[in-house]
Copies of this chain bind each other. A is one copy, B any other.
Amino acid sequence: MVDVDGNVILDMFAQFSSTPVGYNNPTLLQAIEENQSMFVNRPALGNLPPKDWAERLKNSLLSVSPRGLNQVVTMACGSCSNENAFKAMFMAYRRRERGGNNYSLEEMESCLKNEAPGCSDLSILSFYGANHGRTMGSLAATHTKWAHKLDFPTVDWPFADFPKLKYPLEEYVDENRKEEERSLGQVCDLIEKYNKKGRHVVGVAVEPIQAEGGDNYASPEFFRALQRICKQNGCYLLVDEVQTGMGSTGSMWQHETWGLDTPPDAVSFSKKMMTGGFYYSDELRPSEGYRVFNTWMGDPGRVVLLEALIKVVKQEELLRNVTRSGQTLLQGVMSLQNEYPHLLSNARGSGAFLAIDGSSGSFRDTLAVRLRNAGLHTGVCGPRTLRFRPMLIYREKHAFIALDIMRDTVREMNDKVW
């Protein structure tokens, strides 16, 4: 990446984690060259898809489906992906309650007036620190920064604490398990409470790693238990892989590392997947057309790019690469943290999806600016976390460049108390 003054910068934030394989990737450029009509003719995909659309989906989205999920729909962005996954859950839940689609005239008419019984007081449970998007529905499940939410009307939906784990995880197994049990206990209590007050919890939305919220982790056991709680309470489980999807953790889908007994009910994606959308189970498939619908329903050009991207990821074995270069980077920041424990702590990561905490928000903020001025672009999240979102193509040499800049910058900042 080159800034406005012409300085070369190593981009380890990758447009909010959305650029998978660098700028001007030749395979992606070739895909544009060969498919210009898919970029210039934007169809209403839900209604008049191009003739080869099914084939295109098979070669792209469906070729990397999470295990056990064979249904997919495209959307234009992450917020719309989650909004529509919520809708799919609301519909399936009510269909189950009704034992079919036997809508009453009163339901069909009252919903047009924003009234019951057509509009149901259903809810989605989310976690504090979650970011599921910034349109009203997805924002109601988002709890990260006041700038996202202040002054906007919303709905009364429950949220539980996301576990606040201690790092390194392997040193705090017992404490972390208790913390996760506390969070799961809240989930159970909230489902009971909201069901009792008539705002039935239809689904639970969760990120595999809370990114915007501060790169917060939970264990595979936590997610398996969460799924069990969902099943016991007749809720669906939506895994929001908008930030974790497409390989940056070393897996195509982070939730596949949890060892779930059955797949989640829905998995949303966007960012590095190049197109928004969500995978879903047969049960979540709407029974009528036009229920999950809008004019564009995504953009076929973005799916063309995804098809090319998947080719690059497979040919260059980028998932293996992410794991290797991510390890090098994590080991490097860990040894830096050991050297400057008063400034840096909690180095953590999965694949190349990495983060470290600063001693304070102001230290972290200054560090991010100085790193950028020294040629390393990183991101910030949570109150005092610095996050690395290397692209999938980065090799160990990029980790070494980043670590050199990190080391010099932290050394320079060690001259004062933060």
- Contact A120 to B152, CB < 8 A, known contacts A19-B42, A113-B143, A137-B136: yes
Per-residue CB proximity of A295-317 to B under 8 Å, as 1/0? 11001010001000000000000
Let me know if B16 and A42 touch, CB within 8 A: no
Let me know if A118 and B149 touch, CB within 8 A: yes
User: Residue A135 contacts which of B40, B79, B143, B290 (CB distance < 8 angstroms)?
Assistant: B79
Per-residue CB proximity of A320-362 to B under 8 Å, as 1/0? 0000000000000000000000000000000000000000000
Let me know if A151 and B91 touch, CB within 8 A: yes
Q: How far is the CB of A18 from chain B (nearest CB, A)?
A: 6
Q: Is the CB of A107 closer than 8 A to any CB of chain B? A: yes
User: Residue A118 contacts which of B24, B111, B146 (CB distance < 8 angstroms)?
Assistant: B146
Interface centre among A19, A121, A150 (most CB of B within 10 A): A150
User: Residue A32 contacts which of B40, B47, B123 (CB distance < 8 angstroms)?
Assistant: B40
- In the complex the two chains form, what is the Cα distance from A29 to B41 in whole Å? 10
Specify which chain B residues have a CB less than 8 angstroms from the CB of A114 in the assembled complex. Answer: 140, 143, 149, 154-157, 159
Specify which chain B residues have a CB less than 8 angstroms from the CB of A159 in the assembled complex. Answer: 113-114
- Contact A150 to B107, CB < 8 A, known contacts A39-B301, A80-B79, A114-B155: yes
Specify which chain B residues have a CB less than 8 angstroms from the CB of A290 in the assembled complex. Answer: 145, 147-148
- In the complex the two chains form, what is the Cα distance from A274 to B42 in whole Å? 9
Q: How far is the CB of A90 from chain B (nearest CB, A)?
A: 5
Specify which chain B residues have a CB less than 8 angstroms from the CB of A417 in the assembled complex. Answer: none
Give the interface of A toward B (CB within 8 A). Answer: 4, 15-16, 18-19, 23-25, 28-29, 32-33, 36-37, 39-44, 47-48, 51, 76-80, 83, 87, 90-91, 93-94, 103, 107-109, 111-114, 118-123, 128, 133-138, 140, 143-157, 159, 270-271, 274, 288-291, 293-296, 299, 301, 305
Specify which chain B residues have a CB less than 8 angstroms from the CB of A146 in the assembled complex. Answer: 103, 107-109, 111-112, 118
- In the complex the two chains form, what is the Cα distance from A134 to B111 in whole Å? 13
Q: How far is the CB of A106 from chain B (nearest CB, A)?
A: 11
Specify which chain B residues have a CB less than 8 angstroms from the CB of A41 in the assembled complex. Answer: 19, 23-24
Specify which chain B residues have a CB less than 8 angstroms from the CB of A121 in the assembled complex. Answer: 153
- In the complex the two chains form, what is the Cα distance from A118 to B305 in whole Å? 41
Let me know if B83 and A135 touch, CB within 8 A: yes
- In the complex the two chains form, what is the Cα distance from A113 to B157 in whole Å? 9
Q: How far is the CB of A168 from chain B (nearest CB, A)?
A: 29
Let me know if A295 and B15 touch, CB within 8 A: yes
Let me know if B32 and A18 touch, CB within 8 A: no
